[in-house]
């Protein structure tokens, strides 16, 4: 078991290690292969990548988009899961079936045009809010994660609160939502990672406004320099810098993973 876990950890960390070491090499050394370790440590690659890719602006755009999409996804999914578990309404089975269908059928780029046309009609095609709304709408996985947590919370808790005069909505925010904290942490991590790594949607919606580009789109601009030569070393440096916020989020959300089982039992 320990050998398997160690091998899995090495396979997971190997791409990150290669990105880190590649970001500290010259472009010639990186393209030519050679040693695993850099011959000379080029820490200036990070400064150059930061300068060329307008890293501060793109990082802010990515953080804004990812945080807003995560908050919206958690709120919509948690409320939908609560209503599905606690209420009976016409079309409930169809709604759950449609949610599960979207998890297994990927339409990909086919829906880009109608999504863009819809955002044009809503006058959201010139801001990141259009991308955020589309990311929130893809909440099926988060919905089922939170539905499992709500099912583990006894109905007697919110029913007792309603008998004391609490409304259905107030019971959700005051009682159910705090008990779902571990589930919200795990689901939020997945939602944040999905939004942070999104490339196609921000690319389509920011083609006419480079100042709204996210980090994933901005890093692609590092591929070629002014002389049309590939800048793989700068892409490696930029990619490693873009990994750091996700690593920080994983560290912060690690407790939520550890509390998933405990949170379900407690509920």
Radius of gyration over alpha carbons of the chain, in Å?
A: 22
Q: Compute CA distances 40 → 21, 22, 28, 189, 194, whole Å.
A: 11, 11, 12, 37, 35
Q: What does the pLDDT read at residue 242?
A: 82
CB 179 within 8 A of CB 81: no
Reply yes or no on whether the pLDDT at 12 is more than 70. yes
195-252: per-residue pLDDT in tens? 998 888 888 888 888 888 888 888 777 765 555 456 777 788 888 888 888 788 777 7
Tell me the average pLDDT across 45-55.
80
Q: What does the pLDDT read at residue 176?
A: 85
Closest listed residue to residue 183, CA positions, set 264, 82, 251, 73: 264
Tell me the average pLDDT across 52-58.
81
Tell me the average pLDDT across 15-32.
80
Q: What does the pLDDT read at residue 258?
A: 57
Q: Compute CA distances 125 → 17, 202, 260, whole Å.
A: 38, 10, 38
Q: Compute CA distances 6 → 1, 11, 36, 198, whole Å.
A: 9, 9, 21, 30
Q: What does the pLDDT read at residue 229?
A: 55
Q: Tell me what the pLDDT averaged over the chain comes to.
A: 82
Convert 184-195 to b/e letters by CB count within 10 Å (16 or more is b).
Answer: bbbbbbebbbbb
Percentage of the chain modeled with pLDDT above 70: 88
- Taking the CA atoms of 99, 104, 109 and 111 in sequence, report the sign of the dihedral they define: negative
Other beta carbons less than 10 A from residue 55's beta carbon: 21
Domains of the chain, earliest start first: 60-221+241-266 (1.10.3720.10)
CB 228 within 8 A of CB 160: no
Question: pTM for the full model?
Answer: 0.80
Tell me the average pLDDT across 80-93.
89
100-111: per-residue pLDDT in tens? 887 776 666 677
């Amino acid at each position: 078991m320990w050998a398997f876990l160690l091998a899995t950890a090495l396979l997971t960390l190997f791409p990150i290690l290669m990105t880190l070491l590649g970001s500290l090499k010259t472009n010639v050394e990186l393209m030519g292969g050679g040693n695993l370790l850099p011959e000379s440590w080029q820490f200036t690659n990070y400064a150059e990548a930061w300068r060329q890719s307008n890293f501060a602006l793109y990082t802010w755009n990515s953080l804004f988009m990812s945080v807003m999409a995560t908050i919206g996804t958690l709120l919509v999914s948690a409320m939908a899961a609560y209503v599905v578990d606690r209420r009976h309404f016409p079309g409930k089975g169809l709604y759950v079936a449609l949610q599960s269908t979207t998890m297994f059928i990927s339409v990909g780029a086919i829906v880009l045009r109608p999504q863009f046309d819809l955002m044009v009609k809503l006058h959201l095609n010139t801001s990141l809010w259009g991308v955020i709304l589309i990311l929130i709408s893809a909440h099926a996985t988060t919905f089922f994660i939170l539905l499992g947590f709500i099912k583990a919370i006894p109905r007697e808790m919110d029913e007792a609160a309603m008998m004391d005069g609490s409304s259905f909505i107030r019971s959700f925010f005051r009682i159910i939502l705090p008990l779902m904290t571990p589930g919200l942490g795990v689901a939020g991590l997945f939602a944040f990672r999905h939004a942070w790594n999104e490339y196609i949607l921000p690319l389509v919606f920011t083609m006419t406004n480079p100042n709204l580009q996210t980090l994933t789109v901005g890093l692609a601009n590092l591929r070629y320099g002014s002389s049309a030569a590939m800048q793989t070393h700068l892409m490696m440096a930029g990619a490693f810098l873009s990994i750091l916020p996700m690593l920080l989020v994983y560290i912060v959300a690690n407790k939520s993973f550890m509390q998933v089982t405990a949170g379900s039992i407690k509920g």
